[in-house]
Amino acid sequence: MSWRINMNLNEEYRPKTFDEVVGQDSIIDALRHDVKDPKPAYLFCGGSGEGKTSIQRIFARELNAEIYEIDSGMCSAEDVEKILADSKVRPLTKDRKVIVWEECHLLSQIAISKLLLHIEKVPSYLVFILCTTEVDKVPRTIFNRCKVYEFKPIDSGAIQNRLRFICDRGGFKYDEKALGVVSKMARGSMRQAVAYLEQCSYRDITLANIKETLMADTYDNYFNMLFHVLDKDIVSVISDIQSIVNAQTYIEQFFSFILDVNIYVLTKDFEMVDIPEAYKEELDGLTDADVTIIKKIRDMMVDLQYYGRNNPIVDKLLLAELTKIIN
């Protein structure tokens, strides 16, 4: 049996060098080159768990720099002005300073204007890194003044290799298929994959453990919603939607799930989808009539992804569209 107390696997196994980073090879190659002559400002764009935090810290270490990580959502324009004034003070024990603006899209327009003016005349010892998970909200003026790196979702195979390394190093007993399921469930996020692994690591990491510990809150919910629609059980569909905590995230993930169901129906190949093989019985039991309705859900979700983005009543829109399909 695996047993660890007070673990934080994400911090314990966070990459400490460029060589340890998984899945962002082109960015690593470019930053290795930039260590010799860093640009005044960088923009790191990408989803949560794709390596932005690890890479910014490694880059600062390679530059022999002090690093300051700023929560942009908590910064007023006055706070930004004070941080910029303090940044002009040379580092005492290092060669450079790296100031990271986390979720820079949350800065006010006034704060962004102050920051951009500073970037134009940044001293040689100072490097700014602006990070965002919502690139669409970043003003174009920031793109024009930064060297931009776009992080990509990490391949599930690369994630599985990293999870295997963590299990071997940490002494966890595991089933390779279980690691494969966790890797796919993470949808390109190493942080999420390691967090899932940690949730399951108090017992042997097996398919049964994964399904009991993780899937009750993920694929079980998706299949419940799907089968409630197929059964035309509008009361249960309403209950499913009312239980959603983050509607925008749920709809994005449910859409991905519906696409995977469509792909599996066509291919019968679990290698082509992110749905765990533990759900083979449910998928193989779908009838031709079910598949027709699932295609309608897919087409509806395509439209909902467009006009429902950032809509505060997107959960109500989902209910309205599913009601049309049921009726």
Average pLDDT over residues 127-149: 92
C-alpha–C-alpha distance, residues 21 and 9, integer Å: 15
What are the counts of helices (DSSP H) followed by strands (DSSP E) for the chain?
16, 5
Report the pLDDT value the prediction gives residue 310, as an integer from 0 to 100.
Answer: 60
Residue 206 vs residues 177, 211, 278, 317: alpha-carbon distances, Å:
8, 9, 12, 38
Report the pLDDT value the prediction gives residue 245, as an integer from 0 to 100.
Answer: 65
Q: Find out whether 151 and 22 touch, Cβ atoms under 8 Å.
A: no
Largest interatomic CA distance in the chain: 71
Q: Which helix (H) or strand (E) holds 24?
A: none
Report the pLDDT value the prediction gives residue 190, as an integer from 0 to 100.
Answer: 92
Report the pLDDT value the prediction gives residue 303, as an integer from 0 to 100.
Answer: 82
Rounded to 10 deg, the angle between the 314-326 and 247-267 helix axes is 40
Average pLDDT over residues 34-55: 93
Average pLDDT over residues 29-44: 94
Query: Domain 24-150, CATH 3.40.50.300 — does that match?
Result: yes
Burial state string for 278-295 with b = 16 or more CB within 10 A and e = fewer than 16: bbeeebeebeeebeebbe
Q: Find out whether 310 and 242 touch, Cβ atoms under 8 Å.
A: no
For 43, phi and psi rounded to 5 degrees?
A: -120, 115
Least confident residue range of 265-269, 298-302, 306-310: 306-310
Domain boundary assignment for the chain:
24-150, 154-214, 218-326
* Fold for the domain defined by 154-214: Helicase, Ruva Protein; domain 3 (1.10.8)
Report the pLDDT value the prediction gives residue 55, as an integer from 0 to 100.
Answer: 96
